[in-house]
Structures are given as C-alpha cells and as structure tokens.
Structure 1
Amino acid sequence: MSTYSLSPARRAELNQKSNWRGTLEVAKDWTLVIAGFAISLAWPHPLSYVLSVFLLASAMAGFAILQHETAHRSLFATPSLNEWIGEYLAALPILQSMPGYRAYHMVHHRLAGTPDDPDRIMTESYPVSPGSLKRKLWRDISGQTGIKSIIGLMGMYAGYWKYELTGKVERLMPAPQGVSGYAKKFIANNGHIAILWQFAIWGALYALGNGWLYGLWAIAFIFVLPTCMRIRQIADHAVVADPLSKNPLMHARSTSANWFEKLLFAPHYEHYHLEHHLMPTAPCWHLPKLHAELKAAGVIPEQNQATSLLDVLRRATISTT
C-alpha cells in the first residue's frame, strides 16, 4: 500500500489561506459570467450563443468548486468571507446551499473508502459498458438530469427532502407543517435568495435590452453543467486502485488536464482530487505543489493517475471488442 507523510511544517505551509488569492479565484468565475453574456450581447449570432453557454457552464462548474472550497473553510483566511462568499456568491447563484453541501460533503470525507460513503453510489458501478455510459451522458445532455436537479434542489430548500447530490431521494423528518411551514423553511435555507439571483441575472440582461439571454444561463445549467459534474465524479473516484481503502492515495485520483478540461470540468485545480483528499483543508491553489511532491516520491498508484479526462472515460468503460 502506498503511504506518504508530510512534516508538520510542510502541512502548515500547504494549509496557508489567503484572502487575496481567494478573491482572485472568485473573480475568475464571475469574469466568465460577464464574458459569457457580453459575447452574445456584442455579437448576436448562433455561434456566439454556443460559446456563451460553454462559458456560463464553466462559471457554474467553478461556483460548485468554490462552494466546495468554502465548505472546507479553505478559500479565505477570514472565516466570515468563507461563509458569506461561499453561500451568496457561489452556491445560491446555481441554486445550491453551502451549509447544506458542507454537512453532506463532510460525511463523504469522513467515510471515503468505506461502503458507507454517500458518494460511493455515483461511482461504484464503474467500469460500465460504452452503451451504459452513453445512456448516462444522454440523460445529462438531454436535460433530464438538470430538470430533476432543479426540482430536487427546490424541495431541499423547502425541507421536503434531505440535502443530497447523488440522486437518492430521502424525506426529511420531521417534516415542516403545512404550506407555511415549507415556506418558512424555504426562506430559512435561503431558497428565496437563490430565486432572486435568477431574477437579478435576468433583470440585468433585460435592462440591457436582451432579457431573453437569460435562456443561455438556463441552458448551461440544465444541459451542460450536469454533464460536467458526471464526468468530474467519474474522474475523482471511479475505477481507482482500491475504492474501499481509507487511504486517499488508493481511493481517489489525480488527473492531468488541458486548458479546456480545466475550464469546463476541473476549475480551481479540482483535477487534483487525490491531493485534496490527502489534505482536505489545503486551499486549491496549493494542490499542484502537493501533487509534485507525491509524484516525485512515487507514491501515487498508476491506476490513480490519468493523463486526461478522456483517459478517465476510457478506463471507466468495459471494452466490448
């Protein structure tokens, strides 16, 4: 079994937080949002609309990772910035809840490498046949997954379902009492702010004379983002050396990524997922340094290293030839 130990001094160095660097990471995604809409506003054309959708989906994928970083309290040195920005500038614009995600995600880290890991359901069936993978991706690309996620997220805001991102459905008990009870829970969970974000984006575009461009945001969320998330889930934990080992070097993957993969599928260094599991509290921008150390030490199993996301998808399918 591969093992690796960091000195206390090195661990402290890799855990160093930074307000200015956290601000830069947030600015990257909001710049993509502005650029995504600006392109179609300045050059209305079908090709511009396609490019806008991909840029907006990239921003959304980035927001999901920023939510993840703030859930680990690793994006900013100032705790209040982690809480406020993680919720209001990362999670809520994409209909998520950072506190809900934190509670759910911490269980994943605590139980990773065990049969009780709540995220295991998303990767335990791999490798699958090419046909099975195509069917899964088609559910994402066709919008089926996106529509279900919107319904699920609204229900989770209202306290109808337990916060869960694996597709499992579990009623939250005790249930709120009546319509007013669900409404109060919805507001308490900031569901109304998630909705207000959608109106704010539409309103800004409407003020510029193109409110209909909000449709590009909706398309990115419903049709593109779920596909990005599935591929990322496969890359993180599917077909690894030992999915039932508590050792992060065995149950998670480190993947090389080109600029396009980083933009759409692995923003904020997310492709260094093995490194993240080894040091969950390290800010994302320190993960390449940790990866270099692990690589030099030769402790990452070959099966847990991939040259690209396409390489991961090849490994996640069973050859029929």
Structure 2
Amino acid sequence: MARQLHPKPQVRLDRALFKARTGESLLIIAYAVCLYLLPLALFVWVANTAPTVWVLLCSPLLVVAGYGLFLQAILGHEGFHFNLSGNPMHSCYLGILTSSLLPGFCVTGYFVDHWQHHRYSNSAKDPDYRHFSRYRTLASRIALSRLLATSNYLQATVRLAFGPLSSPSPLPLSAAQVQRLARCNIACQVGWLCVYAVALWQIDGLLLGFCASLAVAFLVSAFNAYQEHAFSEGAEAPPARSRTSRLCTWLHAGANFHLEHHFYPAVPCWRLPKVHRQLLDAGWYTDRQYLLEKHFVASFKYATRRHPYRGDTVND
C-alpha cells in the first residue's frame, strides 16, 4: 500500500491557469523550435566560415540546441495532457507534430505509460518507477535507461497503430482515437526524418551539429527522470522534485517545476512558475525545502547512485 506523504496542497489557484489557449501554445512551440534551430544554424554557419578555434568556442551552442530538441519532447507531453488546445485531439496532434522533431521519440506510446505514472506515481504500479528504479549507477542511468524506455515507447506506438483496437483505451480517449494518433505519430516521425535527410544532404556541416545536438538531447532526457524523481536515502519519499533555477526554467519552459506538474497536470508547463510562486506565498514549501533544487548544475547529482529512484508514495 503506497503512503500518502505529500497530498495535494490546499491552495486555491486562479482558474485561468488551467485554460488551454492554442495561440499561446503556438508561441511556446515557436520558442522551443527557435531554441533548437537558431543555435544549431549559428554553429553550422561558424563551422562553414570560421577557423577551427571559433568552431570550438561556439560548441556550447550545441548544448542549447540539444535542450531545444529535448523541449520538443516536453511539448509532446504537454499535448497529451491536453494543455496545448481546448480540443483534446487538436492538443495531441500539436504535441505529436512538435515532439516528432526528436528522432525516435513516439509520444503516443510514451503517454500510455505516463498516464499510469500520474495515477500511481512512484508506486509498484507506476511504469516509470518499475523501469527507472532498476538502474543504480550513473553509467547505466545515462547509457541505458532512456535508450530502452524510448525503444519501448516506439514499440508501443507501433502496436497501437497497427495492432487490434484495445478495449478499454489505455488513455482517456477512445481506442479508435488512440489508433489515429499513433498512426499520425509514425507518419510525423517518417516525415521529419525525410526533412532531416534532405537538410543533411544539402547543408555542409549540419551532420556534426545535428548529431551533437541529438546526443545532448539524449543525455538531458536520461538525466531528467532522476533529476525529477531520485532522492537521497534520508529524505521522505516524495512524488517529485522541482528545479527552480532561472536557467532551468528557460531551458525547460517551466516543466522543471515537476512537483507542481504532478499536483496540477492540467496547468500548461509554462505557467507552472506562477503555481510555484503561489505555493511559496501560501507557505506550503516552508518545511519542504528538500523538495526543491535551486541550482542548475547541482541538479545533475541526482543521477548518481547516492540518489535512488524511490517508490512507495502517491500524490493524489
């Protein structure tokens, strides 16, 4: 039986925080795409026009581009939480379109697990807990955990797209709707891969920049699960952690406030900083500072073996 150590805060939020607005979502999508493509384009331009020393000096641009690429996956997650549009299916389609920019990541299959992750957070029924808690070392967490999870999401999407209709649907949508989304997801993956292939063929220097950005996105996603859910042995088992640095908020578009997301999954990620401030003002975090990580670099320590991905807690 899971323990309810951190029930939902009894704080009344502004209802406007929960309202999905397509226009606002499109601006966030544009921001995420720019965070990915602009640093990548600048690096490629430098690589084609400047001496090697300038290429090396500009290599941090690829870290930013990698975060921008990872942000596409976050927006796919937001789409399946129905946070990108007032129409649930439109929200999912927007999430599929943007998240398919990340090669191999199929958000439809991912969200079959993620929906259960929210229902049974960090308990034996939580697919994320069962998967990510198996990896104890930094090397296995970085090299294997996300790679195998992404493979599972791809396989799940293919089954949903071409297998028999499941009854009931694993998502809060009809089985037929989930099948259409899965097929759209595969089509978008193929479409973006074709776009990448043409771009890589036509643009000198893009291959290096794209591969490096993809590698950064992979590493960021591998660290991310443990940054959000791994705690030291001594801490009470909470549902999630929020990372509060401004740099993290900029790179994750607010999705770094992951504890707030677990409490209020219907609030779009870019509004979660407002939710966090309301919880701070209400005093909810006064004796819960261990649920926060205030420093960007320090948050990477949670992928080490000193911080297990722990279970036996719920947050509803």
Shorter-normalised TM range? 0.7 to 0.9
What letter matches 1:91 in structure 2? S
Is 1:293 paired with 2:278?
yes
Is 1:193 paired with 2:207?
no
**Residue number in structure 2 paired with 1:61:** 70
Is 1:71 paired with 2:109?
no
**Residue number in structure 1 paired with 2:267:** 282
1:252-309 per-residue CA deviation (whole Å, 9 max, x = no partner) reads: 11222242x4455xx1211111111111101112211111121223323222111224
1:5-43 per-residue CA deviation (whole Å, 9 max, x = no partner) reads: 133xx3523212222221111001211233133213321
**Residue number in structure 1 paired with 2:258:** 273
| Structure 1, unpaired ranges of 5+ | 164-171, 175-184, 244-249
**Residue number in structure 2 paired with 1:179:** none
C-alpha distance in 2 between matches for 1:112 and 1:97: 21
TM-score (norm 1): 0.72
1:65-113 per-residue CA deviation (whole Å, 9 max, x = no partner) reads: 1011111001233445412211122235433233322222111101114
Q: CA RMSD in A?
A: 3.5
**Residue number in structure 1 paired with 2:19:** 16
| Structure 2, unpaired ranges of 5+ | 166-179, 308-316
Contact map agreement 1:71 1:102 (CA 8 A) in 2: yes
Is 1:107 paired with 2:116?
yes
What letter matches 2:224 in structure 1? R
Q: Residue 116 of structure 1: SS of its match in structure 2?
A: coil
Aligned residues: 277
What letter matches 2:114 in structure 1? H
Is 1:139 paired with 2:126?
no
Q: Answer with 284-293 or 295-304: which moved more.
A: 295-304
**Residue number in structure 1 paired with 2:295:** 308
Q: Residue 269 of structure 1: SS of its match in structure 2?
A: coil
**Deviation of the 1:55 alpha carbon:** 3.1
CA distance 1:37–1:2, change in 2 (3 Å):
closer
**Residue number in structure 1 paired with 2:11:** 6
C-alpha distance in 2 between matches for 1:203 and 1:155: 26
CA distance 1:310–1:59, change in 2 (3 Å):
closer
C-alpha distance in 1 between matches for 2:122 and 2:109: 22
C-alpha distance in 2 between matches for 1:309 and 1:58: 13
Is 1:252 paired with 2:240?
yes
**Deviation of the 1:62 alpha carbon:** 0.5
**Deviation of the 1:251 alpha carbon:** 1.5
How much identity, in percent, do the aligned residues show?
20
Contact map agreement 2:43 2:58 (CA 8 A) in 1: yes
TM-score (norm 2): 0.73
CA distance 1:21–1:72, change in 2 (3 Å):
same
Contact map agreement 2:106 2:154 (CA 8 A) in 1: no
Correspondent of 1:229 among 211, 218, 221: 221
CA distance 1:48–1:77, change in 2 (3 Å):
farther
C-alpha distance in 2 between matches for 1:79 and 1:116: 26
**Deviation of the 1:158 alpha carbon:** 3.8
Contact map agreement 1:275 1:290 (CA 8 A) in 2: yes
**Deviation of the 1:215 alpha carbon:** 4.2
